[in-house]
Amino acid sequence: MTAQEPKFWEMPDGKIVNKWGLQFYNGVVGAALYTTTPPPRPWVGLTNEEIEAIYLQHHNQYCECESPNWGYERAIEQALKEKNT
Protein backbone atom coordinates (compact mmCIF):
# COMPACT_ATOMS: atom_id res chain seq x y z
CA MET A 1 0.00 0.00 0.00
CA THR A 2 1.36 3.40 -0.92
CA ALA A 3 0.75 6.59 0.98
CA GLN A 4 -1.24 9.16 -0.93
CA GLU A 5 -1.26 12.84 -0.28
CA PRO A 6 -4.61 14.18 0.87
CA LYS A 7 -6.56 16.21 -1.63
CA PHE A 8 -7.44 19.78 -0.80
CA TRP A 9 -9.68 22.25 -2.55
CA GLU A 10 -9.81 26.01 -2.40
CA MET A 11 -13.41 27.10 -2.04
CA PRO A 12 -14.82 30.22 -3.75
CA ASP A 13 -14.45 32.17 -0.50
CA GLY A 14 -10.71 31.31 -0.33
CA LYS A 15 -10.98 28.69 2.44
CA ILE A 16 -9.05 25.44 2.03
CA VAL A 17 -10.91 22.19 2.70
CA ASN A 18 -10.03 18.50 2.40
CA LYS A 19 -12.11 15.75 0.80
CA TRP A 20 -14.20 15.36 3.96
CA GLY A 21 -15.14 19.04 4.00
CA LEU A 22 -12.91 19.85 6.97
CA GLN A 23 -11.60 23.38 6.88
CA PHE A 24 -7.96 24.13 7.67
CA TYR A 25 -6.65 27.18 9.51
CA ASN A 26 -2.84 27.28 9.18
CA GLY A 27 -2.72 23.47 9.26
CA VAL A 28 -5.21 23.10 12.13
CA VAL A 29 -8.46 21.33 11.37
CA GLY A 30 -11.54 23.44 11.95
CA ALA A 31 -15.26 22.73 11.70
CA ALA A 32 -16.74 20.79 8.80
CA LEU A 33 -18.21 23.63 6.76
CA TYR A 34 -18.31 22.09 3.29
CA THR A 35 -18.94 18.70 1.78
CA THR A 36 -17.50 17.23 -1.40
CA THR A 37 -21.05 16.72 -2.68
CA PRO A 38 -22.16 19.71 -4.74
CA PRO A 39 -25.48 21.29 -3.82
CA PRO A 40 -28.44 19.71 -5.62
CA ARG A 41 -29.43 21.36 -8.86
CA PRO A 42 -33.05 22.31 -9.38
CA TRP A 43 -35.12 19.75 -11.29
CA VAL A 44 -35.66 20.62 -14.94
CA GLY A 45 -38.75 19.09 -16.52
CA LEU A 46 -39.88 18.84 -20.10
CA THR A 47 -41.88 21.59 -21.75
CA ASN A 48 -45.23 20.83 -23.33
CA GLU A 49 -43.63 21.19 -26.75
CA GLU A 50 -40.91 18.65 -25.91
CA ILE A 51 -43.47 16.17 -24.58
CA GLU A 52 -45.59 16.61 -27.70
CA ALA A 53 -42.58 16.08 -29.99
CA ILE A 54 -41.67 12.83 -28.23
CA TYR A 55 -45.30 11.73 -28.28
CA LEU A 56 -45.60 12.33 -32.03
CA GLN A 57 -42.39 10.38 -32.68
CA HIS A 58 -43.78 7.29 -30.95
CA HIS A 59 -47.51 7.32 -31.78
CA ASN A 60 -49.45 6.96 -35.02
CA GLN A 61 -52.39 9.08 -36.22
CA TYR A 62 -54.78 6.90 -34.15
CA CYS A 63 -52.88 7.69 -30.92
CA GLU A 64 -51.62 4.11 -30.74
CA CYS A 65 -48.11 3.67 -29.42
CA GLU A 66 -45.90 2.13 -32.08
CA SER A 67 -42.75 1.85 -29.95
CA PRO A 68 -41.92 -1.69 -28.88
CA ASN A 69 -40.28 -2.49 -25.54
CA TRP A 70 -41.15 0.70 -23.68
CA GLY A 71 -39.66 2.93 -26.41
CA TYR A 72 -41.89 5.91 -25.65
CA GLU A 73 -41.20 5.77 -21.92
CA ARG A 74 -37.46 5.33 -22.49
CA ALA A 75 -37.45 8.35 -24.83
CA ILE A 76 -39.00 10.50 -22.09
CA GLU A 77 -36.53 9.13 -19.57
CA GLN A 78 -33.59 9.93 -21.87
CA ALA A 79 -34.84 13.48 -22.50
CA LEU A 80 -35.11 14.10 -18.75
CA LYS A 81 -31.62 12.68 -18.16
CA GLU A 82 -30.14 15.00 -20.76
CA LYS A 83 -31.77 18.04 -19.16
CA ASN A 84 -30.76 17.13 -15.60
CA THR A 85 -27.16 16.01 -15.91
Read off the pLDDT of residues 15-34 as tens digits, 9 standing for 90 and up.
Answer: 666 555 555 554 545 544 45
Note if the pTM is more than 0.75.
Answer: no
Same-domain pairing of 2 and 35: yes
Same-domain pairing of 15 and 34: yes
Range of the domain at 75: 48-84
Q: How many CB atoms lie within 10 A of CB 59?
A: 14
Same-domain pairing of 33 and 61: no
* Digit-coded pLDDT (tens) for 51-68: 999 999 988 888 888 888
Nearest CA to 21 among 8, 39, 40? 8
Same-domain pairing of 2 and 29: yes
Query: What is the number of domains present in the chain?
Result: 2
Sheet containing 8-10: give its strands across.
8-10, 16-18, 22-25, 28-32
Most confident of the ranges 23-27, 38-42, 70-74: 70-74
Same-domain pairing of 10 and 34: yes
* pLDDT beyond 80 at 7: no
Same-domain pairing of 74 and 54: yes
Q: What percent of the chain has pLDDT over 90?
A: 28
Contacts of 44 (CB under 8 A, 6+ apart): 83, 84
Nearest CA to 25 among 37, 34, 13, 15? 15
